[in-house]
Amino acid sequence: MFFSFKNKISKQKNKKLKILSGYNFRYRNIGKKSEESIIKYANYFNFDYEIDKSNKFERHFYWLKIKMIIENLEKGTHDFYLWLDADTFFCRFENILDHVDISKHLFVHNNFFKSVHKTKYKFVNYLTWAPNVGVLLVRNTNWSLNFFKNVWNKKKYLDHFWPDNAAFMDELGLKAEISKISKNSISKDTLKKTFFLPGTWNSMPKKNFKNPDKDEVSNFYFDPIIIHLAGIRRRDRLKFIKEYKHLFI
């Protein structure tokens, strides 16, 4: 069956920052809502944006962010690139560049995660940090380009449960949830170039946000700037959007 689905939309204005996002036909019901939010935000600050809606991609569609970031860094037309997953929604008009140290190269939120590694004690769990790449700000530098090329080349994660995110974690050095806890080590150089975004820029409701009895770690922050519906089933994402759309710009 042939679907008439526009592959890419973009605009060109401010060269300070360009927003990148994308989704395919299968994800269109959520992606369209996120796209509306992204465009409102971009227009408010006069930022460029590019939203790729291709239906064919050589890898799992999650890897699109890595490919788009590399391509845009190679073109080098903007000072910063902001990737946003197609299930992210702006709640407030805050210029991200006013909230970070712009001398850094890589900007990501490091969220709490109930570890897959078990302790020998009852009712005691490891709680680790795990960067989430649903919101990624990248400065246009050679270091950034090499970083993401290395992420792209980590093909051992092509079939991983967190394909692109696992490759990113590996390159960053925060490997606790994809390897042994002892492998969790970020180099001094990488740490010096990385800025960890406050949780308000990647505020994630629990997967079972309607079930308070469900034992989950919450990464939802009060008065968020971006709500990210990560890990939630598509039908529940749509329910969330319908019920809480008043929170979005």
How distant, in Å, are the alpha carbons of 98, 118, 163, 177 from that of 114? 31, 10, 19, 9
pLDDT of residue 160: 94
Query: Is residue 183 in some structural domain?
Result: no
Query: Is residue 119 in some structural domain?
Result: no
pLDDT of residue 216: 81
How many residues are recorded in the chain? 249
CA distance 58 to 122: 44
Number of structural domains (the chain) is 1
Q: How much is the pTM?
A: 0.93
CATH code of 18's domain: 3.90.550.10
Query: Is residue 122 in some structural domain?
Result: no
Query: Is residue 243 in some structural domain?
Result: yes
The pLDDT-based confidence of 92 (bands split at 50, 70, 90) is: very high
User: 3-state DSSP call for residue 196?
Assistant: strand
Q: Which structural domain, as residue segments, surrounds residue 51?
A: 8-108+131-170+188-247
CA distance 64 to 171: 17
Quickly tell me which residue has 């989704």 as its tokens.
23
pLDDT of residue 214: 74
Question: What is the tens place of the pLDDT at every residue in 138-193?
Answer: 999 999 999 999 999 999 999 999 999 999 999 999 999 999 999 999 999 999 99
Question: What is the tens place of the pLDDT at every residue in 5-33?
Answer: 557 676 666 799 999 999 999 999 999 99
Query: Is residue 126 in some structural domain?
Result: no
pLDDT of residue 27: 93
Contact partners, residue 120, CB within 8 Å, separation at least 6: none
Share of the chain above pLDDT 70, in %: 95
In a 13 Å sphere around the CA of 231, the CA atoms on its Cβ side amount to 19
Question: What is the tens place of the pLDDT at every residue in 110-130?
Answer: 998 888 899 999 989 898 989
In contact, 190 and 173? CB cutoff 8 Å:
yes
pLDDT of residue 104: 98
Query: Is residue 178 in some structural domain?
Result: no
The pLDDT-based confidence of 207 (bands split at 50, 70, 90) is: confident
CA distance 225 to 79: 22
Query: Is residue 33 in some structural domain?
Result: yes
CA distance 235 to 112: 25
Query: Is residue 2 in some structural domain?
Result: no
In contact, 20 and 67? CB cutoff 8 Å:
no
CA distance 213 to 56: 40
CA distance 126 to 206: 18
